[in-house]
Homo-oligomer: A and B are copies of this chain.
Amino acid sequence: MNTRRLVVSCALLVAGLLLAGSTLAAPPPRHARPLPPVFSLKNWRVVDLTQPLRLDMPIWPGDPAFEIEPWASYATDGYFINRISIGEHSGTHWGTPNTFIEGARSADQTPAKDLVAEAVVIEIRGTAAVDVDYRLTIDDVRAWEQEHGKIRPGSIVILFTGWQDKWDDPAQFLGLDENGVLHWPGFGADTVEFLVNERGIVGLGTDTHGADPGDDEEFGASFAMYAADGSILECLAGLDQLPPVGATLVIGGLPIEGGSGSPARVLAFLPPRPPHRPH
């Protein structure tokens, strides 16, 4: 850790000295000078956490079918667009508290600042491969914190189950059994209550189709998160490209009037210089 801090210190010192030197020595150039890289978001690393929207993608049983209807054509109209029809919670999507709580915050009532949050990624691929109905426990969270540091207020906690790799196989992704029960790992309701009350998190994320385990028809984890005015991201992709801490999420959810959320482009940003990691 000290070595890394020294490296960062030296980099800052060198940057400061170089900038000071050029300020004293060089005439001002005529046009826009480049900023230090960290000041343009274009220099940050962007990770796409969004699954492709395809006609044959997994759909929650009973939800609207995804339709792509060609509407204007090159031949007839000189240009091409589709009409799309989709459920608000299909594809990689973003859910708002009114999904479960009548009168609670809707998609269009969510300010832009709440679409930006630091990501915490808890990976359970090994456990989930053995127990598809696994529920993340408070002890799991504490074990993660031993390694990566205490979860900061304002974080969105993402469960990385490995389900993102099943997107092209809807039967595997949904895990529907002969009794009509869905199967995928999720958050325990008490774990979400702990994360809300003791850590001040503002959202959940997962690469499965629900923050609750597939076989949990009480939706306890979702209720706990929505009751705290949080947001929930589901069907995420690309989680293997995120560090446990240090990425910031940008949730490209649509401001549908009265909507329960929407299909969303979800991106994660990592600064040009890796952030300092706690023990």
Number of interface residues of A (CB under 8 A): 106
A227 at the interface (CB under 8 A from B): no
A129 at the interface (CB under 8 A from B): no
Closest residue on chain B to residue A255 by CB atoms: B52
Mark each residue of chain A from 1 to 40: 1 if its CB lies under 8 Å from any CB of chain B, else 0.
Answer: 1100110111111111101101100001111110110111
Return A89 CB to nearest CB of chain B, in Å: 5
A118 at the interface (CB under 8 A from B): yes
Return A173 CB to nearest CB of chain B, in Å: 17
Give the CA-CA distance A35 to B276 in the complex, in Å: 7
Closest residue on chain B to residue A258 by CB atoms: B68
- CB pair A248–B20 under 8 Å, yes or no, is no
The count of identical subunits is 2
Return A201 CB to nearest CB of chain B, in Å: 13
- CB pair A254–B263 under 8 Å, yes or no, is yes
Given A16-B10, A63-B71, A254-B265, A111 and B80 contact (CB-CB distance below 8 Å):
no
Q: Select the stretch in A41-49, A135-143, A180-188 that faces chain B.
A: A41-49
Chain B residues, Cβ within 8 Å of A269: 41
Q: Select the stretch in A98-106, A157-165, A190-198 that faces chain B.
A: A98-106
Secondary structure at chain A's binding surface: helix, strand, loop or mixed? Answer: mixed
A275 at the interface (CB under 8 A from B): yes
A221 at the interface (CB under 8 A from B): no
- CB pair A52–B6 under 8 Å, yes or no, is no
Chain B residues, Cβ within 8 Å of A85: 67, 83-85
Mark each residue of chain A from 113 to 144: 1 if its CB lies under 8 Å from any CB of chain B, else 0.
Answer: 10111100000000000000000000000000
Q: Which of B54, B74, B115 contacts A265 (CB 8 A)?
A: B115
A108 at the interface (CB under 8 A from B): yes
- CB pair B53–A79 under 8 Å, yes or no, is no
Return A183 CB to nearest CB of chain B, in Å: 20
Given A99-B81, A112-B267, A219-B79, A252 and B255 contact (CB-CB distance below 8 Å):
no
9 A-B pairs with least C-beta separation: A252-B252, A12-B16, A41-B248, A13-B16, A48-B112, A9-B20, A32-B278, A32-B149, A64-B83
